[in-house]
Amino acid sequence: MIVTVLLLLSSLTFPPSPPSELRAFDTPNDAGRSITLTWKNPPEDESLKGYEVYRAEAVKGEYSMVGFVLSGDETYRDGDVVDGVEYYYFVRGLREVEFSDSERVGPAVSRAQWFNVGRTSFLVIVVVFCVLVFWYIRRARRGDSLFVRKIPGLEAVDEAVGRSTEMGRPVLYVSGLGTLSDVTTLAALSILGRVAKRTAQYEVPLIVPCTEPLVMTTAQEIVKQSYTEAGRPDLYNEGNIFYLTYDQFGYAAGVDGIMLRDRPGAVFLQGYFYAEALILAETGYAIGAIQIAGTTSTTQLPFFVAACDYTLIGEEMFAASSYLSKEPVMLGTLKAEDVMKVLIVVIFLGAALLGTLGFLVSRYSGHEGLTNAFESLVNLFAAE
Amino acid sequence: MKRLLPLAITFVTGMLIVVAFVLPHPPFGGLEDRFLNWYLIVVGFTMLLGVDSLVRMHISKLARRRPGWGYSVVLLVSLALTVIVGVWSWIGWRSIIHPVAPFMYIYTHVIIPLQATMFALLAFFIASAAYRAFRARTVDATLLLVAAGIVMLGRVPVGAYLTQKFPNFVQLPVIADWIMDVPQLAAKRGILIGAYLGAVAMSLRIILGVERTYLA
């Protein structure tokens, strides 16, 4: 007991150990105006409050505090610097009153980089993918037939709208909580165009409650265009595509209310969903509607699979516009996707094989060549 | 021209963002953030369109005495009251999110409990969906039932207690972790890789003007 108290008192009286191995360098792969500092924490000191970062423009100049990080952190990014100017730093380990300073380091100069090395793999993948897309588009334009597997969820669109027509009930289209800047929402809107064309042909009302005004405006234009293309602009009702609310559960309550009051015969749940996904899908099930869901949210997919008649899983949503339009050029991009997936699987298998072999070779013969090759491969594809 | 201009804007903007992603040097660096800020400004203005749509729809419902018109009265009165209280909070406390501002009172005592109520309903919906999904009518559903049973038992103390005397590899928490870390994660990653590739393909189609459905 006495020893513990003495240790505690001594730890409070003496200054903490200073941070060691301080480095200040230009933040890599950025647009400049940033210097990164790294250091090593002193041996475990729970009474340490944090670190103050000090900066000056000359090694013996006047240092001023530019930032504070809590104890445990070992990096700080100074984003308030001018490119081309030399800066010097030190870091102060702070207890309550006691402190200790690291050595001074510098000069560090920030500069903008022309190329983000950490994104090389992204560039390689995009370039390869673009080449594949152009290649398959060219093939499609030449008239080559491209096989695309059946997607039951998209085949069922006509069935769902038809059933709604037979029941004399409206069709409800829910485009999720995504904004117009989400590519999932754009995919959902392209499916909406197809659904709207069918509802116009079958003369069934289409209800589209939206969670974002910009999505609402776009949806109105898409539906209007689809009704015109179907030769029934007279059936278009702007009031059926309306804004509900930005609030997640307010939106869920509003859509549930529409389902229970209007009892749609078909419900489309297409877009990006969060926790409200199952609330909507189960209410749709309860009213006996045929439900076609589609999302890229892996956490909500199981709920849709459990509660809906058909589910478009991830990529199937993005394939929808190409699949439904049957245009050769659009189908060409689908083929490119498939080839890219095969390439990625081959890379995964190769890396797994290389890693396993590297482990076995280094364990039984001590050679690190394969392990190093495996690590280089992993680093090449490690995203920044 | 009506179609060409939006397509040209999409192409130039899309290409600039792709270039900015790999070239951080000015003038490309920070372009994505700048475009997103412009987008947010546009969204701010479109909020007026949203409110206009909401108010018009409910006034029309009210005027025609459609079924459930009483809810429209509640909505319109609540909307007006919230706006008034928000303006009052701004004038009196210089911020609508000031802890003692009346707007925060509405947020804390009306909006949060309503959100919590809706979220709480999820438990019942999960139970009913799970009941349907776990009925062992097919091989797939049986596998799902067994896997879900193991994972659920492995996540609670009684699961660990039941199998604590067995060898490590047949203990429920260990099997549950294996199911979540290996087959579940593999399936999830497979879906994600497909979805990301699909998103890249869709983006390319939009940038190149092949995909035009969003233009209506």
**Residue A57 backbone dihedrals phi, psi, to 5 degrees:** -100, 0
Does residue A46 share a domain with residue A18?
yes
Distance (Å, rounded) from C-alpha A36 to C-alpha A26? 6
pLDDT at B106 over 90: yes
A179 in the same domain as A125: no
Q: Are A31 and B19 in contact (CB under 8 A)?
A: no
Neighbours of A82 (CB within 10 A): 11
Average pLDDT rounded to a whole number, residues B182-203? 89
Q: Are A22 and A64 contained in the same domain?
A: yes
Is the pLDDT reported for residue A317 higher than 80? yes
Instruction: Give B135 to chain A, closest Cα distance, Å.
Output: 11
| CA distance linking residue A292 with residue A267, whole number of Å | 6
A35 and A136 within one domain: no
A228 to chain B, closest Cα gap in Å: 10
Give pLDDT tens digits for A175-213: 999 998 888 999 999 899 999 999 999 999 999 999 999
On whether the CB atoms of residues A322 and A333 are closer than 8 A, the answer is yes
Residues of chain B with Cβ-Cβ distance to A341 below 8 Å are 193-194, 197
**Residue in A115, A224, A319 nearest the CB of B22:** A115
Q: Is the pLDDT of residue A383 over 70?
A: no
Q: SS3 of B95, please?
A: coil
Element (H, E) at B35: helix B31-63
Position A74 scores a pLDDT of 86
* Range with the largest mean pLDDT of A70-84, A161-175, A356-370: A161-175
8-state DSSP, A238: G
Which residues are A38's β-sheet partners?
A23, A75
Mean pLDDT in residue range A263-273? 95
Total domains in the fold of chain A: 3
SS3 A348: helix
DSSP bridge partners of A70: A50
Q: Are A317 and A187 in contact (CB under 8 A)?
A: yes
For A216, the domain range is: 152-326
Q: What is the pLDDT of residue A355?
A: 92
Report ipTM (2 d.p.). Answer: 0.87
Please count the other Cβ atoms lying within 10 Å of the Cβ belonging to residue A116.
21
Pick from B23, B67, B194: CB nearest A341: B194
State the Cα–Cα distance between residues B8 and A276, nearest whole angstrom. 37
Instruction: Output the average pLDDT for chain B.
Output: 89
Look at residue A196 in the predicted model and tell me its pLDDT. Answer: 95
- Residue B26 to residue A31, Cβ atoms within 8 A: yes
pLDDT digits (tens, 9 = 90+) for B114-141: 999 999 998 999 888 888 877 767 888 8
Backbone angles phi, psi at A378, to 5 degrees: -65, -45
- Indicate if the pLDDT at residue B97 is higher than 90: no
A10 vs chain B: nearest CA distance in angstroms? 42
Read off the pLDDT of each residue in A123-139 and give the average, rounded to a whole number.
Answer: 86
Q: Are residues A187 and A282 in the same domain?
A: yes
Check CB contact under 8 Å for B197 and A214.
no
* Residues of B with Cβ-Cβ distance to A216 under 8 angstroms: 49-50, 53
Chain B residues close to A119, C-beta within 8 Å:
21-22
The three-state DSSP-derived secondary structure of chain A is: CHHHHHHHHHHHHCCCCCCEEEEEEECCCCCCCCEEEEEECCCCCCCCCEEEEEEECCCCCCCEEEEEEECCCCEEEECCCCCCCEEEEEEEEECCCCEEECCCEEEEECCCCCCCHHHHHHHHHHHHHHHHHHHHHHHHHHCCCCCCCCCHHHHHHHHHHHHHHHHCCCEEEEEECCCCCCHHHHHHHHHHHHHHHHHHHHCCCEEEEECCHHHHHHHHHHHHHHHHHCCCHHHCCHHHEEECCCCHHHHHHHHHHHHHHHCCCEEEEEEECCCHHHHHHHHHHHCCCEEEEEECCCCCHHHHHHHCCEEEECHHHHHHHHHHHCCHHHHHHHHHHHHHHHHHHHHHHHHHHHHHHHHHHHHHCCCCHHHHHHHHHHHHHCCC
Tell me the count of A-B CB pairs closer than 8 A.
199
Q: Which residue of B has its CA nearest to A119?
A: B22
CA distance B139 to A256: 33
Q: Which of A302, A326, A350 marks a domain boundary?
A: A326
CATH code, domain carrying A65 = 2.60.40.10
pLDDT tens by residue, B142-156: 888 899 899 999 999
* Cis-peptide into B67, omega within 30 deg: no
Whether residues B202 and A318 touch (CB distance < 8 A) is answered with yes
CA A246-A250-A255 angle, 5° bins: 100
Chain A CB within 8 Å of residue B5 CB: no
User: Average model confidence (pLDDT) for chain A?
Assistant: 87
Q: Is A200 helix (H, G, I), strand (E, B) or coil?
A: helix
Chain A partners within 8 Å of B120 (Cβ): none
The verdict on A301 and A192 lying in the same domain is: yes
Going by C-beta distance under 8 Å and a sequence separation of 6 or more, which residues neighbour residue A270?
A173, A174, A175, A176, A187, A188, A191, A192, A292, A293, A294, A295, A312, A317
Residues A161 and A257 in one domain: yes
Residues 72..91 of B with a Cβ closer than 8 Å to A: which? none
User: Which band of pLDDT confidence, cut at 50, 70 and 90, is reported for residue B55?
Assistant: very high
Residue A10 pLDDT > 60, yes or no?
A: no
| Per-residue confidence (pLDDT) for residue A13, from 0 to 100 | 59
Euclidean distance between CA atoms B95 and B92, whole angstroms: 8
Residue A1 clears pLDDT 60, i.e. is over it: no
- Please tell me whether residues A96 and A26 are part of one structural domain: yes
Cα A166-A170-A171 angle, rounded to 5 deg: 100
CA-based nearest residue in chain A for residue B54:
A243
d(CA B115, CA A250): 7
Q: Based on the domain organization, do A209 and A71 belong to the same domain?
A: no
Which of A242, A296, A316 lies nearest to residue B54, judging by beta carbons? A242
CB contact under 8 Å between B21 and A319, yes or no, is no
Residues 87-116 on B with a CB inside 8 Å of A are: 111, 114-115
pLDDT of residue A7: 53
B44 reaches A (C-beta below 8 A):
no
Q: What is the mean pLDDT of residues A337-357?
A: 89
**The predicted structure's pLDDT at residue A8:** 54
Residue B99: band (very low, low, confident or very high) from pLDDT cuts 50, 70, 90: confident
Q: Which of A214, A330, A341 sits opposite B210 (nearest CB)?
A: A330
Same domain for A159 and A308? Answer: yes
Smallest CA–CA distance, residue B164 to chain A, in Å, is 31
- The residues pairing with A269 across neighbouring beta strands, listed in sequence order, are A174, A293
The verdict on a CB contact (< 8 Å) between B200 and A126 is yes
Are A58 and A137 found together in one domain?
no
Shortest distance, CA A185 to any CA of chain B (angstroms)? 10
pLDDT tens digits, A56-66: 898 888 888 88
Long-range contacts of B74-82 (CB under 8 A, 24+ apart): B79/B51, B79/B54, B79/B55, B82/B106
A208 and A96 in a common domain: no
Q: How far is B166 from chain A (nearest CA, A)?
A: 30
Minimal CA separation from B43 to chain A, in Å: 6
